[in-house]
Structure 1
Amino acid sequence: MGKKLFSPGEIVEESGQYPVVGPRGGDKGYEVAAVKGEPFPSLPEKGWGFDAPRLTQPSESNSSTAIVEYTPPELPNHRPIVAGNLALVPSETLPGGRPILVGTRQVISFENLPQHRPVFQSELNIVAMHGNRPVISLDSSLTPSASLPGNRPIAENSSSPSGTLMGYLD
């Protein structure tokens, strides 16, 4: 059982994979990658922190050089890890110092969504923001909502006659 050594917001002294631990030091089953010089990220529960980084174990081979091997523990909920050469946008340029992966999508705004999440440029035509959610204009025409159960609008179906009702979802 580990002991809490680092708290969210503290500056990371050594880059590595830090196990998340509870207030009494119990391992929570996942790790967070932290970069030297950056603050530790916030955690979902009060009192949680970070244990010492899991160090790689050197294994001796036939040469005098040690090979470093690291096998990360299985991720919770079987989440995938993306392989490849990933790069981070410098966190000083982002709101709240949050690092994001460099990608091919162009960010057009940080101001429209809650917690300054980036809005990416796309082919979608955003006509309004309602409750911090984008309202998108679609090319398809809608069947009038008053004629549908629960006044829910639906897009017309071009593959079947417009007067054919297949059934209700509710």
Structure 2
Amino acid sequence: MEPLMENEEYNWREVVLPSLIPVVPPPELDRETGERRRGRDIIIAIDHGPNSKHAFNWAVTHLCRLADTIHLVTAVSNVRNQIVYEMTQGLMEKLSVEAFEVAMVKTKARIVEGDAGKAICKEADRLKPAAVVMGTRGRSLIQSVLQGSVSEYVFHNCKAAPVIIVPGKDAGDESVL
């Protein structure tokens, strides 16, 4: 694994998601202010595979609370590729709607250029989230170390937040959360 270079260029594009937050009238009582309901930031690493979708579903169901904000992060090789951007934007819009319907959480999305592990760690350093959630293929420890794994890289190099690795649906009982 290569050390993270400080002078590397960091390219990214924000994804414009539909606004799903309903307009809420001001609180009737003084004790119902927003200070009391401050939410957490949670990063969920997303790609077009079933294991990241499984991790997304797990996070929305088991981790998210009402006032939280989910940050969907996808790493691509080139952020200027319009086809990849449009496909990823469609996926993130769909996940944003699903997150709002299931847990009523706010969603932000970002497409980051570069190696997936490094990009997720940079986003975690920038946001200082409560957790970083990502999926894995459920390979054994030896397989993931020898063959390389984004989740393995993030687990060892992300200093900003605890990393929660959700095994895929096909993983056996040996997988550890």
The TM-score range, normalised by the shorter chain, is under 0.3
Higher relative contact order (CA 8 A, sep 6+): 2
- Which of the pair is proportionally richer in helix? 2
User: Structure 2-normalised TM-score?
Assistant: 0.19
- Which of the pair is proportionally richer in strand? 1
